[in-house]
């Protein structure tokens, strides 16, 4: 049973004794961390950074064993984002933790007020298989920076990565601070039966709904990092060389198994043919000009398991049966779970590939003439996690940004907003809720507590009994302060 099958599983079971004991240990230790200083928390983060650097070769090996990721890809997409998060926290944590003074409103004259960010307590981080280190340790950095304890539940679909994550955590933290629970959907459901103070989930929309339902029983606040069909718009004013270089570099990394990967390309009819020609040439330049070369490429990963391979094969077969045409790629090998970088055109309405999140190296391309029609279509779909627009016409770009909803957006780039430490990263609607990274991640794992100190306030004058004098003051309050 896989984590995706939580959606079909009935109810939440009682947590096992081991899981409950772990939760209670962290719950007992949480007050110690609540009083920790910025220096204390930074020291914990530096221990994690040191462990990741020391195990870099092991992380490379696990990435290859589980999904054929090139070591360079592991460095850039798994290790670098976490170390960057640690560096951001090290530089700014003291400022993030500092109470924020707020001025009194007219009705609150005579008081002093501030907002203090305090730890939520015991946090659960459920991470997916596509970027197991990044999406486990990235949220963990934010949880530690905010002063919480944490339990990680990595995906069972990447077992070598999961074991290594557990080993790194066990070497770096005592279990009352940070611990890992391995296993499949049953382990996740047992964890979700516990009253965590925050649940951070990254994965599919279907499972995200089940996580919300389980967390509502306590209730636990939830952050959901989901996905969706992130559109990639190529305006007629776009620099096509730059556009295809970016598209190939972000769509096919990790064989398309990226939550913010371009999932659907809209290209203006005036540049469609040139765009397709350049796109095909770029794919061949990067990954090889024929199926044999692409299979032999050390820079191209593999689909994570047979079930996902068959899902991608089904999407492709359905599109072709409905009249779609392949202009690049199309080669599949079930034995090695290889799916070539594949570009499709002439797609029919109702094709599954136009409706479902692809999460793989299949790329449907749709021609358009009316930009406003594209914007309306994006608005009618479930809100995507990301939106990408390429062009040089500022007015048309702004029309897209103003009119098409998404969790995040890039202009003349794609995906890399994920790595910007001063930007919030998160979804909207079907693509998720809440934010991560940098100060936004720190705030996600913190409670913003209002603190008011009454110095010489006059609110007591409005307390009962409601004499004539008090009633007159109430009436004056309504007139003056509203």
Catalytic residue flag (residue 259): yes
Q: How many helices (H) does the chain have, and how many strands (E)? A: 18, 18
Nearest to 74, CA basis, from 84, 90, 61: 61
- The catalytic residue among 225, 357, 410, 439 is 225
- The catalytic residue among 73, 78, 156, 259 is 259
Show the tokens assigned to 397: 């770009």
127 near 161, Cβ under 8 Å?
no
Residues 282, 251: Cα–Cα separation, whole Å: 12
Catalytic residue flag (residue 274): no
Which segments within 306-455 are labelled E, that is strand? 325-328, 332-333, 338-339, 342-345, 362-368, 386-390, 408-411, 432-433, 446-454
Non-local CB neighbours of 239 within 8 Å, separated by 6+ positions: 390, 392, 412
The 8-class DSSP code of residue 369 comes to: S
Sheet holding 222-225, edge to edge: 178-180, 149-153, 122-126, 198-202, 222-225, 432-433
Nearest to 443, CA basis, from 173, 148, 23, 82: 148
DSSP letter string, 422-437: TS-B---GGGEES-BS
Residues 310, 452: Cα–Cα separation, whole Å: 58
Nearest to 432, CA basis, from 218, 156, 204, 219: 204
Cα 243 from chain centre: 24
143 near 445, Cβ under 8 Å?
yes
Taking the CA atoms of 427, 432, 433 and 435 in sequence, report the sign of the dihedral they define.
Answer: negative
* Element (DSSP H or E) covering residue 65: helix 56-67
Non-local CB neighbours of 12 within 8 Å, separated by 6+ positions: 189, 190, 192, 193, 214, 217
Helix (H, G, I), strand (E, B) or coil at 60: helix
Residues 275, 263: Cα–Cα separation, whole Å: 17
Active site residues: 225, 259
């Amino acid at each position: 049973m896989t984590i995706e099958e939580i959606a079909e599983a009935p109810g939440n079971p009682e947590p096992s004794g081991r899981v409950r004991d772990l939760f209670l240990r962290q719950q007992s230790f949480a007050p110690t961390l609540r009083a920790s200083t910025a220096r204390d928390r930074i020291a914990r983060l530096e221990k994690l950074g040191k462990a990741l650097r020391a195990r870099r070769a092991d992380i490379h090996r696990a990435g290859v064993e589980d999904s054929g990721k090139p070591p360079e890809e592991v460095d850039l997409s798994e290790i670098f984002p976490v170390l960057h998060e640690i560096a951001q926290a090290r530089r700014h944590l003291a400022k993030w933790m500092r109470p924020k003074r707020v001025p009194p409103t007219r009705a609150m004259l005579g008081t002093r007020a501030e907002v203090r960010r305090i730890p939520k307590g015991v946090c659960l981080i459920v991470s997916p298989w596509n970027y197991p280190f990044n999406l486990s340790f990235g949220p963990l950095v934010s949880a530690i920076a905010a002063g919480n304890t944490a339990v990680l539940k990595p995906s069972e679909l990447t077992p070598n990565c999961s074991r290594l994550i557990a080993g790194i955590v066990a070497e770096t933290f005592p279990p009352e601070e940070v611990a890992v629970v391995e296993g499949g959907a049953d382990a996740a459901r047992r964890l979700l039966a516990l009253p965590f103070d925050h649940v951070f989930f990254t994965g599919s929309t279907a499972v995200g709904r089940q996580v919300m339902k389980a967390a509502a029983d306590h209730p636990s606040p939830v952050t959901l990092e989901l996905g969706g069909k992130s559109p990639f718009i190529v305006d007629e004013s776009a620099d096509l060389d730059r556009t295809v270089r970016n598209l190939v570099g972000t769509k096919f990394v990790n064989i398309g198994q990226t939550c913010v990967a371009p999932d659907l390309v809209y290209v203006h009819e005036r540049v469609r043919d040139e765009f397709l020609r350049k796109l095909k040439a770029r794919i061949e330049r990067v990954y090889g000009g024929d199926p044999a070369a692409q299979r032999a490429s050390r820079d191209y990963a593999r689909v994570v398991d047979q079930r996902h391979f068959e899902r991608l094969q089904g999407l492709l077969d359905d599109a072709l049966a409905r009249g779609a045409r392949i202009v690049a790629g199309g080669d599949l090998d079930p034995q090695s779970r290889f799916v070539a970088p594949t570009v499709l055109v002439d797609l029919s309405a109702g094709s599954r590939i136009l409706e479902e999140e692809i999460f793989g190296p299949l790329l449907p391309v749709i021609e358009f003439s009316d930009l406003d029609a594209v914007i309306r279509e994006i608005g009618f779909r479930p809100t995507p996690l990301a939106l990408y627009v390429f062009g040089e016409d500022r007015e048309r770009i702004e029309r897209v940004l103003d009119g098409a909803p998404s969790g995040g957006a890039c202009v003349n780039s794609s995906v890399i907003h994920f790595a910007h430490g001063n930007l919030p990263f998160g979804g909207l609607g079907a693509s998720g809720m809440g934010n991560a990274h940098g100060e936004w991640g720190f705030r996600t794992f913190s409670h913003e507590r209002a603190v008011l100190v009454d110095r010489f306030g006059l609110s007591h004058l409005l307390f009962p009994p409601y004499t004539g004098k008090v009633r007159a003051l109430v009436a004056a309050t309504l007139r003056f302060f509203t």
